[in-house]
């Protein structure tokens, strides 16, 4: 007793509005672009899209992938950060930067970070290109 109740009409309307917002987020994610600016914009609009324990990992792996995929032939000012972060790819000197950067770009071109895997699978489900349901099962964690 003493608890306020929410009228059924109000409760249903709020639930409907919440579902529409979730569909907006799914649509925005399915159409997410490939650049860090696109991810930052999406993350700002939908900060809780991924579960909290995955959020940093999803965006960090995409950012790392982008940085390595877009390395130039000349070392950046912060080149030592690359050696410290990825010692298996970069040495302690800039003398062999160009071939190592080329190898890093080559490796990054072989695959997508999870952010894009999730986006691409959702796009396939959304556009009805997932006839066997494997993409949906993956997205639901049943694969």
Residue 90 falls inside a structural domain: no
Nearest to 93 by CA among 105, 109, 80: 80
Over residues 41-76, the pLDDT tens digits come to 999 999 999 999 999 999 999 999 999 999 999 999
**Model confidence at 94: pLDDT above 90:** yes
Q: How many domains does the chain have?
A: 1
Q: What is the DSSP string of 55-123?
A: HHHHHHHHHHHHHHHT--SS--TTHHHHHHH-TTT--SSSTTHHHHHHHHHHHHTT---HHHHHHHHHH
Residue 116 belongs to a domain: yes
Does 79 map to a domain?
no
> Considering the chain, what is the average pLDDT of its residues?
89
Is 87 part of any domain? no
Q: In terms of residue numbers, what domain contains 121?
A: 8-70+112-139
The answer to whether the CB of 139 falls within 8 A of the CB of 121 is: yes
Identify whether 97 is part of a domain.
Answer: no
In a domain, 77, yes or no: no
Residue 104 lies in a domain: no
- The Cα–Cα gap between 51 and 134 comes to 22
Is 90 exceeded by the pLDDT of residue 21? no
């Amino acid at each position: 007793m003493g608890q306020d109740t929410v009228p059924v009409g109000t409760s249903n309307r709020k639930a409907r509005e919440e579902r529409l917002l979730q569909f907006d987020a799914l649509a925005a994610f399915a159409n997410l672009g490939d650049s860090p600016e696109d991810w930052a914009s999406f993350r700002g609009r939908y900060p809780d899209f991924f579960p909290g324990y995955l959020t940093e990992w999803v965006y960090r792996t995409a950012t790392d992938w982008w940085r390595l995929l877009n390395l130039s032939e000349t070392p950046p000012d912060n080149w030592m950060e690359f050696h410290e972060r990825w010692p298996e790819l970069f040495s302690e000197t800039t003398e062999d930067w160009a071939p190592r950067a080329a190898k890093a770009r080559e490796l990054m071109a072989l695959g997508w970070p999870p952010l894009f895997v999730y986006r691409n699978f959702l796009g396939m489900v959304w556009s009805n290109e997932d006839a066997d349901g494997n993409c949906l099962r993956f997205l639901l964690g049943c694969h």
